[in-house]
Structure 1
Amino acid sequence: MRLLHAFAVLVLGTGTAAANVPCGGDFGAFTRAMEDEAIARGADPQVAARFFDGVRQDPETLEADRRQGVFQLPFVEFSRRLISQNRIERGRQMADRYDQVFDRIESEYGVSRGILLAFWAFETDYGAVQGDFNTVNSLMTLAHDCRRPDLFRPQVFAAIDLYAAGDIDPDTTTGAWAGEIGMVQMLPEDIRDNGVDGDGDGHVRLKESAPDALMSGAAMLRDLGWRPGEPWLQEVDLPQDFDWVQTGIDVERPVAQWASMGVTARTGSLGAGDLPASIVLPQGRNGPAFIAYPNFDVLFEWNESFVYVTTAAYFATRLEGAPVYDAGNPSDGLDDAQMKELQRKLQARGYDVGGVDGILGAGTRNAVQRVQAEMGLPADAWPTEELLNRL
């Protein structure tokens, strides 16, 4: 099992309208109904029959879908687990090996090599561990499951298109539990819509071809709104009397205004003065501090976990020469039981935390920051035992 594919939570494409086939019930009947719908959507009946022949429900996929505990780790611990000297050195080796591919990507798509190297590293350890879940079985299992069926059904129909093009095989293609395929773990719909034949062999095969995978990832980021030539994340120093309620990805100000408030780059200089940006404190005012530019927001379309995206964005800067962040001295976070208790208490006060799951997601961060401000505490969105006790 690769380092991240068991708990990657990607934002799934929803370009195709929701399927008419109801979720749940007998899996065999569901499979036959999906085959009929695929044909109704234009799939060749023989292709559809071969695609669905032998598909089976995968209980291990469902287990993986329910297992998201790693996102409960705070940023410093999470990033230290994922970023090693070996990964940095391997990243630089890959940058050299595929220098011409990255040059082409930066010229045609404006996506920095650091970003693609970071996702390549975290998703599959530079292609070494791409996942051993049968892709079609996983997609069909999640489409049949009633938790998020409309997110996965479009991926099944996109996978049929890839099969018809000769780019995947329903019997042998494997990947992550959520159906992502290849070195940078893209979903079938993204591969179909943004896949690039980077090595010129007439196919888009993200499992075997690094040029295909890297160029397809870049094309997807551009499609999601990547702004060529602009930064994404940068470590900053903040004054001691900073207004902490101004932090968080929901608060945007021009870089020049942040500079006037005392925000300085730890190394180099801040981005262009008119660029909109946010101040991000992954572990509160006593931990690392970053300024996040518009391209940082785009990365949430690849993965919706705040700690994952922040770590990947930071690692990309490391690969391009940034120093190790100043970890500071953040207070301890809450454990799973405490975080869930906090979320229940916030819900009881009328805050929308996005569900009691023990994960410090965007909804919980926003609620924490608001209640901190109400209580006269430093509103840095980092939950502590003190806050829990006060509630």
Structure 2
Amino acid sequence: MRLAPVLALIASPALADVPCGGDFPAWVQAMKAESAAQGIPPETADAFFAGLTPDPRVLKADRSQGVFRKSFLDFSQSLISKDRLTRGRALSDQWDSVFQRAESEYGIPRGILLAFWAFETDYGVVQGDFETRRALATLAHDCRRPDLFQPQVFAALEMHRLGEFDLNTMGAWAGEIGMVQMLPGDILARGVDGDGDGLVTLKTSVPDALLSGAKMLHYHGWQPGQPWLQEVILPDTFDWELTGLETELPAEQWAAMGVQLRAGVVPNGLPASILLPQGRNGPAFLAYPNFRTLFEWNKSFVYVTTAAYFATRLMGADPYRAGNPDPALSAEEMKVLQGKLAALGHDVGAIDGILGAATRIAVQKEQARLGLPADAWPTRDLLDRL
């Protein structure tokens, strides 16, 4: 009963009939007309859209996201602290029954939920200072990603109708809400009333937030009882071209090639990839299918790798061996490199100075072509040679 309206709203092809850009008040009127066609009561839409104006801070945040230009070591060391580990373990004990329920019902281990709870909102302390309905409307009106955000506006409208979205709700710049920062569409489709009060309130209810996050990861394919990331030691003679998420082999085959786990046992029969977030001289991991599931929560490689690693720490793993990787390129150097790679015919996506998946693939191919160690970590030597 609760899901029927929102599923119709999010799936509706009619959403394409609301053009992005142009005069904002005219766009609001078009969205109100569309909401009426989708069955939202006019008084709900009138209240939701009343007084809305675009938020330039949202557009600025959407265009920058410079934090993801950090290397894995810099990013992880900035987010993971002794205090966060201590608080995470204390919260694990405090909400033990909720974490047990998350694992028994959805198969999600507590370390994963704690990691995202920590990184998204510092365990609920910092949930964002952007007005959510204004942020969503700004991004839905903007022409960069209207197909993503216009349905979220209608989802927020439906949440308001259900009494689960206050018009003064504050959250992240991209419209995520609550302790684990979920978009309205995800909350409606996969939100859980974990505390039994009849509402799904991710801002104030820890059970609601954690169980909703668990249900979302389960929906996206998390496999219960399987690992997601294990630190490994690679032999000096390793073939670096085999590294990266594009190559998967059974975990026992990696072991036969000399890959050693720092702790634990090799899960026979489970496919895995060798992950070198900062090249052959930095930390090395085996990444399993559950690791890939985490990209449904956040698309950033450095964010997901850090969250997955932090989850292992929260569940008892030792700190990674940082090694001595080659220095990272600056943001401007990375843009120059991306430009050179694009000129050579590689698809690197946006030339934004961020070492994303497409840039890593292109780097690895050029390293192999030039006879360099093909570990997908861009160096100044590679930049100079190109």
SS across alignment from 2:274: strand
Alignment pair present for 1:124 and 2:121: yes
Aligned twin of 1:200: 196
Alignment of 1:21 onto 2:18:
yes
Q: Give the one of 167, 174, 177 matched to 2:170.
A: 174
The CA deviation string for residues 328-348 of structure 1, in whole angstroms up to 9 with x for no partner, is 010001001110000000011
SS at match of 1:377: coil
Deviation string 1:64-100 (CA, Å, 9 cap, x unpaired) is 1112111111100110000000000000011011000
Letter paired with 2:74: E
Matches of residues 245-324 of structure 1 in structure 2 within 5 Å?
A: 245-270=241-266, 272-324=267-319
Query: How far apart are 1:269 and its partner, in Å?
Result: 1.5
Q: Could you say which residue in structure 1 is the equivalent of 2:212?
A: 216
1:46 corresponding residue in structure 2: 43
CA shift for structure 1 position 132: 1.1
Query: What is the CA–CA distance in structure 1 between the aligned matches of 2:34 and 2:57, rounded to whole Å?
Result: 26
Q: Is the 8 A contact 2:128 2:170 kept in 1?
A: yes
Q: Which runs of 4+ in 1 moved over 4 A?
A: 13-16
C-alpha displacement at 1:250, in angstroms? 1.0
One-letter amino acid matched to 1:356: I
Secondary structure in structure 2 of the residue aligned to 1:278: strand
Match of 2:135 in 1: 138
Letter of the structure 1 residue corresponding to residue 308 of structure 2:
A
Task: Tell me how far 1:54 sits from its aligned partner.
Answer: 2.1
How far did residue 16 of structure 1 move?
4.8
Which residue identity is paired with 1:371?
Answer: E
> How many residues are treated as equivalent by the alignment?
377
The more displaced of 121-130 and 258-267 is: 258-267
1:74-93 equivalences under 5 Å are 74-93=71-90
- Which whole-Å deviations, capped at 9, do the CAs of 1:93-141 have from their partners, x for residues lacking one? 1101100000111100000000000000000000000001010000000
- Report whether the alignment pairs 1:97 with 2:100: no
Q: Distance in 1 between matches of 2:125 and 2:11?
A: 31
Shift of 1:21: 0.9
Partner of 2:230, secondary structure, is strand
In structure 2, what is the equivalent of residue 152 of structure 1? Answer: 149
- 350, 367, 374: which one aligns with 1:379: 374
> Which amino acid letter does the alignment assign opposite residue 31 of structure 1?
V
Equivalent of 1:349, from 331, 335, 344?
344
Answer 1 or 2: which has greater helix percent. 2
Decide which of 58, 63, 70 is 1:61's aligned counterpart.
58
2:10–2:155 contact (8 Å) kept in structure 1:
no
Cα 1:287–1:355 shift into 2, 3 Å: same
**C-alpha deviations, 1:345-369, integer Å up to 9, x for none?**
0011101111210000000000000
2: CA distance, partners of 1:156 / 1:234 = 39
d(CA) in 2 for partners of 1:15, 1:386: 48
Distance 2:52 2:271 in 1: 48
Output the amino acid matched with 2:376: A
Shift of 1:15: 4.7
Secondary structure of 1:23's counterpart equals coil
What secondary structure does 1:296 align onto? helix
How far apart, CA to CA, are the structure 2 residues paired with 1:114 and 1:16? 36
Secondary structure of 2:211's aligned partner: helix
Which residue number corresponds to residue 366 of structure 1?
361
**AA at the equivalent of 2:179:** M
Contact 1:14 1:151 in 2 (8 A): no
Deviation at 1:146, TM superposition (A): 1.1
- The aligned counterpart of 1:226 is 222
CA gap 1:102/1:292 in 2 versus in 1, 3 angstroms: same
Give the Cα–Cα distance (whole angstroms) in 2 for the partners of residues 277 and 24 of structure 1. 43
Post-superposition offset of 1:58: 0.8
Measured in 1, the distance between the counterparts of 2:10 and 2:278 equals: 32
The RMSD of aligned alpha carbons is 1.1
Q: Which runs of 5+ in 2 are unaligned?
A: 1-8
Q: 2-side partners of 1:211 and 1:97: how far apart? A: 11
Cα deviation code 1:130-168 (max 9, x no counterpart): 001010000000011111111111100111111111111
Q: Distance in 1 between matches of 2:119 and 2:41?
A: 37
Unaligned runs of 5+ in 1: 1-12
SS at match of 1:19: helix
Shift of residue 304, structure 1, vs aligned partner: 0.3
Contact 2:329 2:380 in 1 (8 A): yes
1:35 paired to 2:28: no
Name the CA distance, whole Å, in 2 between partners of 1:192 and 1:368. 40
